[in-house]
Amino acid sequence: MRFDSGYQEYKRKKGYQVISSGDSTLDELLKGGFQRDLIYLLYGDKKKTSKILWTTSVIAQKSLLNEGLGEDVKIAYIDANTYFNPYDISKYALRHRLSPKRVLENIIIARAFTWEQMVEILENRLSQLENIKMVLVSGITSLFQNYEKQTFEDLLYAINGIKKTLMKSNPYLILTAPLNKYSEWKPEGGKIIAHFGSVLVLIRDQERLTEYNLVQHPYLAETVQKKFKPREKKLETPTRNATLDCWIE
């Protein structure tokens, strides 16, 4: 073991590619996107966080010159939210001029339908994969059954499995989790999952806007970004097809 200077560490991390999330508001919040050596936990709205994972899985496969990791990068995708949609991913790949077939082939997906399956995948199966450059976990605590001691011990086992993968290949790591049903700010999984993440982002999807809260970051201050939704235009009754009743009313 040897010591490195702070400047050497800075140069090493600066050389890592920053991967866009595909969400311009989140990218602005994170100063560009996802970085290696940071563990990201996005929690809150399930649909929003799940979509961010699959858009990231596509953008990561762009060439190095186009701010990706390369066309043959391998991505591990563990899905407990069942929002992984190959058709939407294919359309998004075409938007970025990527081959949908190749994009889907590079995503190694495992689905969990019970909490026990999620723990087994993360604790034992994930670290067996070779040459993984990015790990995406959709709903790491979505399948929590209760708040008993054993459940939290299982979560620690799952996190230890993720750590083995980090030690092995140092991939980009992005997790999502639901909001704790007893809290407006804390993720499901309590302090264990919150302390594991180095970057915490709470995403709330409201009627008129989506709110992105940077709750924790090693060197960025807490901040909030808001994305307002476009107003839905009220459809007028076309006069050509209007019935007599419409005119009378």
- Domain segments of the chain: what residues? 16-248
Element (H, E) at 86: helix 86-95
Quick one: pLDDT band at residue 16, thresholds 50, 70, 90? confident
The domain 16-248: what is its CATH number? 3.40.50.300
- pLDDT at position 207: 85
Quick one: pLDDT band at residue 241, thresholds 50, 70, 90? low
Q: What is the mean pLDDT of the chain?
A: 90
pTM: 0.87
Quick one: pLDDT band at residue 247, thresholds 50, 70, 90? very low
DSSP state of 198: S
Quick one: pLDDT band at residue 11, thresholds 50, 70, 90? low
Average pLDDT over residues 76-102: 95
- pLDDT at position 162: 97
Average pLDDT over residues 50-56: 96
- pLDDT at position 248: 42
Alpha helices in the chain (DSSP H): 6-14, 24-29, 46-59, 86-95, 100-105, 115-120, 149-169, 190-196, 244-248
Residue 239 pLDDT greater than 70, yes or no: no
- pLDDT at position 238: 57
SS3 194: helix
104-159 tens-digit pLDDT: 999 999 999 999 999 999 999 999 999 999 999 999 999 998 889 999 999 999 99
Quick one: pLDDT band at residue 103, thresholds 50, 70, 90? very high
